[in-house]
Amino acid sequence: MTTSLLRSKVKKNQTWNAESVFSSAQAFDAEVKKLLEDLTPIKEFQGHLGDSLDTFIKAMDAIEKISQRAAKVQVYATMSSAVDTGNQQGAAMNGKAMSALAQVGAATSFVDPELLAIGETKLRQWLKDDLRMKLYEHYFNDLFRKQAHVRNAEVEELLGMLRDPFSSTRITTTMLANADFKFKPARNKNDKKIDLTQSTFDAILNGSDRKARQTAWENYNDKYLEHKNTLASNLTTSIKQNVFNMRARKFNSSLESTLFNGDVPVEMFHNLLTIFKKNLPLWHKYWKVRRKALGVKTLHPYDVWAPLTTKKHKVPFEKAVDYISEGLAPMGDEYVSVMRRGCLNDRWVDWAPNAGKRQGAFSTRVPQDTHPFVLMSYTDDIGSMSTLSHELGHSMHAHYASRAQPMFNYLYPSIIAETASNFNQAMTRAHLLKTNPDKYFQIALLEEAMDNFHRYFFIMPTLARFELETHQRIEKGQPLTADSMIELMADLFSEGFGGNMNLDRERVGITWGTFTTHLYIDYYTFQYAIGISAANAIAKRILEGMPNAAEDHINFLKAGSSQAPMDVFKIAGVDMTSTQPIEDAFEVLSSYIDRLEILTSK
């Protein structure tokens, strides 16, 4: 029986540089204690922001510093718990960090209501009177845009204090799935056991052994089904929290509330789903191509990630860094050197697939004086290379934005975040498709592309449809149960499969339960599809040699949230208020399917 590597056995060069954030757990604890003590001077500014322009700037500087410190606390706690979710010290750190963040949020919650009370006229005058105030122009614009939905200082403080207890639903689900779930081993074609964990699941599904894929997929989803009622209760509670916040801030729907808060047009959500449904025949064609290429009579959900050839393409971590660096060469020496150094010298990436590691992959957002960090389980293949490229796109976004913007302008919204990551993948893929003509390598690259589009242009829009329906049911006072959510999810996937896939309704229907992060961030899923659309549009500008295209993208990364999201996209030369980038991305998808059909039919 193949078992996962124990965390204690992971080589140092495969771990991230947590000690660069805090030297020890004791140093972390000391900073949390000091952070909370230092909230008292912040509170002393309450009621005095309007005293003078200088007082306002001093207050904002103090809040900037405390916010940066709080971000470091959060990052370190996340790093400690994510690599080994069964580690109790890491779990305790996460609890301390969330509590500290909630207290920081509550202590600084007076700012927006107080500025609104000062009034737009006076604040606009401050902008004219002092160049130092230029930094806050977009902040003021956004504040008065949201004015009708900002409550008084007392209510805002209470809403800030709710951040900690409200976060428990996501944390509980994450701990249940990543720390408590013990999956029944998969079995390969020789009936030998294969250790099934959150960090090995994807690698098994990407393998050529169909029995291993089937048993891994079934055993994995069966564990979630075993706990379907707990998972349903948690997700329902999270949705009710979203609806509570929507009503507290006087919106008509949770969709409107979430997108308004991020300054995203509601039409963008509905346009995406309309275009997605219109293009479902593309996915139906892909399932047929995949079934034929695999040579199976019936396609099953566990065949979606199966390799289409028996040819193996081993891509060690260091080779992946080379490929990614070559693909991003058009971005310039600085971009590439920072990224390479982060991977090979500064230990940005924690990449060993050890036991207890959290599922999936992510990149942290951090203040200037720390690195961005990536968590993933690297398995020496093209899929892992693609994931690394994706997460490094996030990291480069964090690197540039954190050094160009103060904290309150650096934390770019999620509608923008998925652009930088998918851009890295598009550039790496384009380079390798152009420079490596080997048929089997081309097929493997196109499989990687389809895996990426499958996640962002099939799974995520399907989850977005599920989100909309479940939120609307709660808003109308209708009940949600595990079985009703399973039925809804199965119906949506059935439409997407178009009769070309065997539909195991229960196991497919529990898909919502396996997304222990995405569905706990309100209407986050559809933003992936927006990100991949913008990313392909930006990559096209650079690959076609448009003047200043690479510089435009770096300026996009540096912008953070210093402008409205749609204006930030325009810095990169893309108009996301138009549906054209989404339509164009589906054209890219169509071209990949056609190319794959030709290569696999020979």
Three-state DSSP at 543 gives helix
CB 460 within 8 A of CB 521: no
How long is the chain? 602
Supply the DSSP symbol for 503.
Answer: -
DSSP class of residue 362? Answer: E
Give the whole-angstrom CA distance, residue 134 versus residue 119. Answer: 17
Q: 139 with 409: CB under 8 angstroms?
A: yes
Is residue 551 flagged as an active site residue?
Answer: no
Q: Which of 597, 599, 598 has the alpha carbon at shortest distance from 291? A: 597
CA 398 – CA 401 distance, rounded (Å): 5
**How far apart are the C-alpha atoms of 395 and 178, rounded to whole Å?**
24
State both tokens at 98: 């969330």
Residue 150, strand partner residues: none
Burial class (CB in 10 A: 0-12, 13-18, 19+), 162: middle
For the chain, the maximum distance between any two Cα atoms, rounded to a whole number of angstroms, is 77
Q: C-alpha angle 48/50/51, rounded to 5°?
A: 65
Check 31, 157, 391, 448 and give the catalytic one: 391
Distances (CA, A) of 350 to 83, 97, 205: 8, 21, 22
Write phi, then psi, for 193 (nearest 5 degrees): -70, 145
As beta bridge partners, residue 362 has 375
Q: Which helix (H) or strand (E) holds 350?
A: strand 349-350
Instruction: Note whether 315 and 381 are within 8 A (CB).
Output: yes
Could you tell me if 470 and 484 are in contact, meaning their C-beta atoms sit under 8 angstroms apart?
Answer: no
Instruction: Please identify which residue in the block is written with the tokens 């700037």.
Output: 57
User: What is the rounded distance in angstroms from the CA atom of residue 38 to the CA atom of residue 62?
Assistant: 10
Beta bridge partners of 596: none
Q: List active site positions.
A: 391
